[in-house]
Structures are given as structure tokens and as C-alpha cells.
Structure 1
């Protein structure tokens, strides 16, 4: 497979004299997968010797029934599948796929993977700051984002949130244009799209395809999969690949597809949408389609032998006929056209073949951009009325139950110990189940952005975990301001701030556990189950319910952030009053602080390693 396209160092298209025979091409692409069963492994062909070509300025449509391999072919062309499992020639400018090209190709996935709480302008601005070359200033990158907004006709909704399942935002067509804008922001010469009209009404779908045509007209190459376009959409495509069961049934100009199939005896008997006619053929359905004479003879012979039949050949026979017809009449001619290499200047050739990644920002810039984006995206969830009401109502209830409790008597201190233990449990439980959702929910976004080399995984991880810290501190402060003074705990600035610091250490440690569980399992049901068992175990071993834990299981206590937080809160309140409270010694507290700090970094390191091991197109 050969696909040629040219970049300048700023991502702009450079003109290059190319004759009409020098095409963007792919040759004899075959892709197989191994399916593991209970007792054996089965090798299944997904693509069988696909050959084709596309020029700059053209829109190539990949069509076929569900399961025909069109999305697999698109992913192969875009470098999104492991190349070692592919046979055939897959090169760009006569060079193999490289990390340099990875950040220069636009790839729009079928699902609209966007942050719901960012506006259209914020979404495109962050993409520009992360993806455009380092040599451009921040102002130039932001101007490019604004240019894309006007280029795609998004100026009316540029300050509107993207929206999602529970957040009202832009329309479906506008969301799709934002996804396209995220990719064309780098001015790629090659743009891939997977089902860009999926879920859109006919008018919006037509507008989306018109946008792709406009992009192609300025010298870009556009390759898109499409399932069942209307006749108006079909006529917007320059070239067409029709796939059936992983085999090539047609490649050529979209406008000539009907004439080709008519030449092999398959013509529509009634007026119908060309795309509908082609998909019926790819499915082996010849209803309202003329039957070729070769197939008629075969069907008559089979019917005379079996004395059954409806006069139409079965789909498998139709598929075999179409594949053989293409291979015998067209395939060899097309392959000969694609043999000549395209001459390129050596400077461009060395750039394209470079294996070095081209980051759009330094590590520190990536961290700062992702940190700011993280705060903007998540502040809406953190400060929702539901969460604020949950925290404040819990604080008020606790304050009323322990209203001005007495710390001078043993009974009073025992009651206060119950309050301190509940604080340790509440701020251990709450962050774990919030953090569990972090990486499973952002997996699609992380995979998409890492596939485009927008940033390093380390910059993302550190920004993602640290941008939560300022947000995590605000609600606990409000909680303690209510509980601390209503319950009559030690009234001094040092005791209050030490209690606050202890709670904050507990929150960050518990959050680390949630991140580690979520990143390791990447499945919300399994992660929630594991977290429930773990948090319950830590709570029971936290030092309040069981004073004397058996030796063989006592190690659980030292892994419990509830236990260490509870001991520290007792130390802050009562160390200068008595050395032992409720059966727990209030020592120096250094061991507890050290244990919490170790959990903060240890759990996060485990989460980072889990993300590293995942297949995120790193």
C-alpha cells in the first residue's frame, strides 16, 4: 500500500509536481487475526489482498456490509493496527509508517470522544496548543483554533459546552464537526474518518460530507468509511472501495461503479439508490437485480439436481462470482498502474521516514495545558449541588449528633473517638469511589489522544492526578468547618489545621487506591466490587471496632489508611491529655504520616504502571 502526502515543518501542505499517474496507493493488503477458542486457535481472514489508490484532492469512500472489513482497512491505512500482522505493502511516500507520521495524520473515530464540560472553543484551543508545532507561539496556536471554528461554521456555538448524557450541549452535527476540527487543526494532508455520518439526519450528514469535500478540494486526501449513504451523499465521493467478506469487489471512480457491475451482468431492475444497489450486491442479495448468465446456468443446474430453489443464486455463490469477476477483469490492470514509485526530494523523504516523535509542546507545557484542562473539565462535577449538599448535610448531621461533646471525661472522649473514626472512614470511602471512575471513563479519550501523539503518558498522568488536589481540598475544609466547631473539638488553630492536614493525607491516599484499582481493572463493575471489599476491610481493621487483631491478619491494619488517619486524629486531639485513647496509643505520629505518604506515591505508581501496560497506542 502506498499513500503519498507532503508536509512542511509547520504542518502546511507543500505543492509538488505530480503527474496523473502518480497516485496514493495500497497494494495486496491482507490482514488475519487469531481467535482463541476453548481447545484450539482459529485463524480468520479479515482482509484479502486489497489494492487501491487515492490522490490529494479526492475523497475515497470505503463501503460494505457490517463485518466486511472496512473499519479494519481504515485502521490499517491510518496506522492504528499492529503492522506485524499485515502482509502486503503499507508505505507512505515509499517509506514505512513512522512515529513522525503518527502526529501528522488526522483520524476521526466513529464515537464522538469529547469532554462534555468544555466549550467548543476550549476543546479546539487545547488541541491546538498540544498538537501544533513548538515553533508556533501560544497566540498563533489559538488563532489557528479560531480559524478552524470559522472554517467549520461553528462560530455560533463556540462558547457552548459540548455536552453529553447528562449535560445539555451542542447538536450531533456540531459535535461531529468539532471532532473533525480536532484533527484538521494540524492541517493534515491525510484525513481518516470512521462512519462520520453515523447517527445524523440526512441534512446534517450531507453537510458533514460537504465539509469533507471542501477539505479535499484544498489538496488534502480524505478516506472515510460509510455504511449506507443516501444517493446525494454517494455522488459526493470521488473514489469508492466496495468490500464483501474482506475481499475487494470494486475499486475505482464512484460514478463508474454502476457501469462496472452492469458490464458483468448485475444491473438494477428498478430505480434505486446506487449505494443500496452496491450493498445488496456485497451481501449477495440479487433481489430486483439482474442475474448474470453464468450464475443463471449454475442455478438451473443446481435446481435440476435438487428440485428446489427460488431461481436466485445463494449469497456465497454471488460473492464468489463478484470476487472472481473483479480479479479477472480489473485487478491486474490496477496493480500495473501502481508499480511506478513517486520521486521525492531527499529532505522530505528523510523527514517522513524518521522514527522520532514530533511533540507539539515540551513536557512541562503538556503538563500545564493538561492541568488547566483537567480543572476546567472537572470543576463542574466537583462543585455540583448534589455533591455539596451531600457533604454539608453529612457534616450538619454529625455536628448535631456530637453537639458540643465533652472531651474532659473518659466517656466524652470515647464518644469523640467515634466521631473521629467516622471522619477517617468518610474521607477514605468518598475519594476511593470517586477516583475509581477516572481512568475507565477517560480510556477512550486517552487512547484517542495518545494515538495522535498529543502528549506523553507521564505528563497526562501527573496532570490528571495533581489537578484534582486543589478541588479535593475545598469540600473537606467546608466539612471540617461545620463539624469541628459544632462538635466542640479542640479550639485552637494548630489543632484545626493539623486535623485538616490529616484528613487531606487520608483523601490523597484513598484517591491513590481508587486510581490504582480503576487503572488496573479498567472495568467499573469489577473495580467497584474490589473497592467495596477493600474499603470495608480497611474500615473494620481501622482500630475502632476491633482493638486486638489476631497476629496472622494484623498486617491488614497497617495497610489501612483508615487506621493511620484515626490514630493521627486521636493524637492531634488528645496527645497532651493522655497517652492512650479508646485503647489506641497516641505516639509521635511519624509512622502514620510515613505510611500515608508511602500509600500516596505507591498506589499512584501502581496506577501509572497499569496504564503503561495497556494497549493505548503508545
Structure 2
């Protein structure tokens, strides 16, 4: 059963069928940016026009920097380039397409695989279906659609194989490409945009991937537009049409089978036994231009296309299909039903839960690391006693435990960036919003971070000899838990702003180093420079964790002073009312560090507010900085 058959069997009559789009066209597409050096307007795409009918595959080809991806993004009504201004008309069935219409009838597959490595092929497809299909499509129909697509793309023997993580191998490169396309087709789009679907693959795998896409597109009458770089002869001839670009302009648009004859007519014939794709790219590849010959030749080819009968016939065909749309119902009235509001966050939670417990990179390694840290600290700060010589080691243990656990939250950066990449791809296809993503990410981390806090505390707290009371132990766990929540929230915020692994890692590490420096341990509050105190200390979650853990240990515990040499008096390191009895009250230690008691509830509230603030800022960043 094909996707089209399943569409007709769907319970909702409003659900779009695969024959909704007969043709996809564009004309006068232009993209202009500001030149980095001169700040003057610079055209990176000009006078682009094209027409692709249902069941056809169009190859966007050209040398690097020719405008392939720019045109693909412009047609999909995505941001074509940073700071770009896009003009022109995109027509679906002759009707001018809005972003909302394109989201309903199209899907976009990016060059980089936006897949969760720890879930299986079938799980990937099922989650894609849950995020996109409306309630009118039954679970049985959705699963049938998933299984049909898995079979159509030759992945049935790998249905229960994970995609692949840095630690555990999964699918091959070609299989990942096929899965990426199949996961977008589960929503039954009418137009499919593919950005370099064969990048990173050898010629055999490239041919295999394009063949699966071709078979699916013809079976389901799809419009397929793919940017592609230097395909093999076999891969090249699988496409129906070619748009050849250079310098942001069109060198040729038309049937693949007519390309050789066209270039022969204008004086650039394809030699026998030559890959026509390579020949055409070599003609216009100005990157290899040393004497200006290639640029001059390219200009001749561009001018020849502008005045060619083929260009005039293309313009006439686009005008004709635009006129044909007058008697058809508007695509804007054929809204694709959406899943229920609760399905998207619940699906994200389910997927994140599977990843969290299955992929050791997410939390498994961190649990082992924090357990090791607990054993390390517990044996280094072993069996400290309630004596004044152990007061400073107690303080050091409190600071080091909280600060190091917070610092090592940077290990979450790669796992979050994988989720973020998947979210950006799904969001661009209209499947997931930033609120559902941020909330599900936070909720799924809570039990694992609490487990980390407990695992670390069970070992380190009792080995070190902190205050031996159940309530004190539970309060210690609470502070560590808040510390980890805040640290991970900071990682989420930084990675959302700059989703580059090395940069996000460096900034998150720097921020944690800053919080350590101003939390009141390394430099007491009565000594800390006023700038660092008033600008950073009061927004430092580590400061409240450190103060809370200090009060938890020293707020109601006494420590014995050393006896003087005469055996009749005491030498106490911290002055206090009970020094004469050979006792240092814990409050004396807190007073020396300018830490007040009775503020625990306030500090917990501020810590929760900081955690909430980081997550809200991450949400706003994702909402405003849309890819």
C-alpha cells in the first residue's frame, strides 16, 4: 500500500492527498545580501525561474558558491542566507505560495543528518509520524505507513537497528540518508526539498539513495527538488530536470536528456564517454579560473541562456500554469490537520526518555563520573572530625563538591546539541515549537539529575563525616540537585545561543569558572571587589548553593578547639562566645565568612528562580533566533 492509498483511507476528508500539487514553479527569484567589505548590496541569486511537475525530480547543480542552497532555501521560504532579502514569486499549482502553504505541502531534508543516534530506525519513523500526523489517522494506519516507507527505502532488515552514536555503531552513511528522507515522507508531503542528499557518500551509495527517492517520488507523484554536487553519470541521469547555476544565475534549466544537445548548440559539446555532469560543472567552475578564461566562458553561457528559446519557453510555461490556477480551490483552504496539542510534548518526552537511558553519553557517563568523584572526595576528605583543624577541610569539601559537579555539567553539551539539531529540523518543517522542546528537555532531565545527586551524596557525605543527621543529608541532596539543575540549564542556554560544540563548551566552562570565583569561598564577601560582588555574585547560583550547604553543615554543629600548651586554656581559630569552653560554634565559622543563617528558604527560592530564568531565556533565544 502506498502513501497515497493511505491518505485516501484517512478518516479526515480534509487531510491532503498526494495529488494536491500538480506543479511547482518560481520566477524572478532574487536574493540580496550586504557585501562584507563594501557594505553595498550584493546579489547572490538573480533572475531564477523554473517549473517542476508532480512526479519529476529536479537537480540543482553548480560549483561551490553558485547559489544552489540559496535557491533551495528561497524556494522553501527559509532564510536564504544571513541577513538576506529574498524577492520573487513561488507558485504551487499556479497560486502564489505563502510560508503556511509551503509548510502544509512540503518537507525539507537538510544536508546534515538530524537524527537521534540512540533510537532505532522504526522508532525514528514512529516518532516522526506522531509529531506530524493528525488524530484522524489511526495508530494502525500510521504504523502501516511507517512500515511501508521502511520497506520502500530498503531498511526493513535494519528496522530495529539504532541510528548510531559515537560509542555504538549503527547505520551506514547511505542508510542514514535514506532514513532522513523517509522520516520526512511519513507526513505525505507533496513537495520534497533535499539539500545535498548524497554528501559524504561514494558514487555507489549516492546512486542507491537517489534511486530510492526516485522510486518513491514517482509512486506517490511528488515534486522533488534537490541540490547536488558533482553526481556520477548514473546518479545524474536519474533526475528528470536540471537547473545549472553559476555566479547566482541560471546557465540552463530543462530536461536532463536535452542538456547535452543544448550545450552542443551553443558551442560546448559533451565529449563521448564523459560524465556530462562533470563536463558542465567544469565549464562554469570559476574557482579554477587563473587567467579569466572560465569567467569569460561562464558569462557567454549565462548570456546564451538569457536569450535562448528554452528560456522563453520556460517563461511561457510558468505563465500558462499560473493562468490555469483560476478554476482550482485555493491551497490556503486545504489546511492539513495538526496533531493534538498534547501529542507533541508527550512524544518529545517519550523520545528524550529513550535517549536518556539508552545513550550513555547523555547521563550514563556522567553518573559514573560523579560516582567516581564521590569516591575520590570521600577518600580524600575521609572521616573528618568535629575539631577545629578539620573546619577548613569541611569548607573545602563543600566548595569543591558543589563547584566541580556544576563544572562537569559541560559534559551535557554534545547530547543537547544533537537534540537541538533535530529540533531545528523538525521546527523548520512545522512539527515542533520551542516551548514543547524546552519543557520536555527540562522535565526529562529532572529524575536523572536527582539520581546523580543521590549517588554522589550517598558515597561522599558519609565518608567525609558531614553532620550525621537524616535531615541534614536530605538538605545536602537538595542543594546538589539545585546546583545540577542550574548548571544544566546554563548549558542549555549557552548551547542555544551558540550551537557550536567547542564554543558552547568553552563558554559554559568559563561561566562556571566565573561563578566559582565570586561565590564567596575563594574571596570572602567582605573582601570581594564591589564590581564582581554586585554585578555577578548575586546572580551566581553556586553562591547560594555554597551558602546553603555551609549553613546545613555549620548552622547547628560545634567543633572542639585545640588545647593550649599549659593544658588549662584553649586556642580557638574562630572567636566566639564558647571559646572559653574549648568550643567553636558553627555559627562562628559562618560569621567569619559573612554567611547569614535563617536565609535557607530565600536561597532555595532564588536558586529556583535562576533555573527558571535560564530556561525562559533559552526558550526566548530559540523563539527569536530561528534558523
Q: Which range, TM-score by smaller chain?
A: 0.7 to 0.9
- Is the partner of 1:343 in helix, strand or coil? helix
1:294 corresponding residue in structure 2: none
Once the two structures are superposed, residues 532-565 of structure 1 have per-residue CA deviations (whole angstroms, 9 ceiling, x without a partner) of: 4432333233333333334724334433323322
Q: CA RMSD in A?
A: 3.0
Alignment match of 1:52 (pick from 38, 50, 53)? 50
How far is the alpha carbon of 1:55 from its aligned partner?
1.0
| CA distance 1:524–1:172, shift in 2 (3 Å) | closer
Q: From 295, 301, 304, give the equivalent of 1:325.
A: 304
> In the TM superposition, what is the alpha-carbon distance from 1:439 to its structure 2 partner?
5.4
Compute the displacement of 1:484 (Å).
1.9
Following superposition, the deviation at residue 238 of structure 1 comes to 1.5
Task: Report deviation, 1:529.
Answer: 4.2
In 1, Cα distance between the equivalents of 2:287 and 2:390? 83
Deviates more, 1:182-191 or 1:360-369: 360-369
| 1:340-355 correspondence runs (5 A) | 340=320, 341-343=323-325, 347-351=329-333
SS of structure 2 residue aligned to 1:395: helix
Give the gaps of 5 or more residues in structure 1.
Answer: 1-5, 288-308
Please point out which of 444, 448, 464 is paired with 1:487: 464
Distance 1:160 1:414, change over 3 A: same
CA contact (8 A) 1:359 1:454 kept: no
Task: Give 2:185's aligned residue.
Answer: 184
CA distance in 2, matches of 1:496, 1:526: 37
595, 601, 607: which one pairs with 1:596?
A: 607
State yes or no: 1:504 paired with 2:515.
Answer: no
2:116–2:419 CA contact under 8 A, matched in 1: no
Q: 1:480-559 alignment to 2 at 5 Å? A: 480-547=457-524, 548-550=526-528, 552-553=530-531, 554-555=533-534, 556-559=536-539
Query: What's the CA shift string for 1:326-373, capped at 9, x where partnerless?
Result: 232322232123222223666443425x7xxx6733333211111221
CA distance in structure 2 between the aligned counterparts of 1:359 and 1:446, rounded to whole angstroms: 21
In the alignment, which residue of structure 1 is the partner of 2:35? 35
Question: 2: CA distance between counterparts of 1:50 and 1:231?
Answer: 25
Which of residues 610, 613, 616 in structure 1 aligns to 2:624? Answer: 613
Three-state SS of the structure 1 residue aligned to 2:316 is helix
Counterpart CA distance in 1 for 2:318 and 2:87 is: 17
1:567 corresponds to: 547
Q: Closer, same or farther in 2 for the Cα pair 1:527/1:329, shift >3 Å?
A: closer
- Give the Cα–Cα distance (whole angstroms) in 1 for the partners of residues 135 and 327 of structure 2: 24
TM-score normalised by L of structure 1:
0.85
Counting only pairs closer than 5 Å after superposition, residues 401-412 of structure 1 correspond to structure 2 as 401-407=380-386, 409-412=387-390
Are 1:228 and 2:205 an aligned pair? no
Structure 2, unmatched stretches of 5+, are 1-6, 558-584
Measure the CA separation in 2 of the matches of 1:112 and 1:273.
28
**Retained in 1: the 8 A contact 2:438–2:618?**
no
Q: How many residues align?
A: 575
Aligned match of 2:369: 390
1:9 aligns with 2:11: no
Q: Is the aligned partner of 1:366 residue 2:369?
A: no
| 1: CA distance, partners of 2:138 / 2:480 | 42
Matches within 5 A, 1:282-321: 282-283=284-285, 314-321=293-300
Question: Which residue of structure 1 lines up, in the alignment, with residue 239 of structure 2?
Answer: 237
- TM-score (normalised: structure 2): 0.84
- Give, in whole Å, the separation in 2 of the partners of 1:551 and 1:187: 61
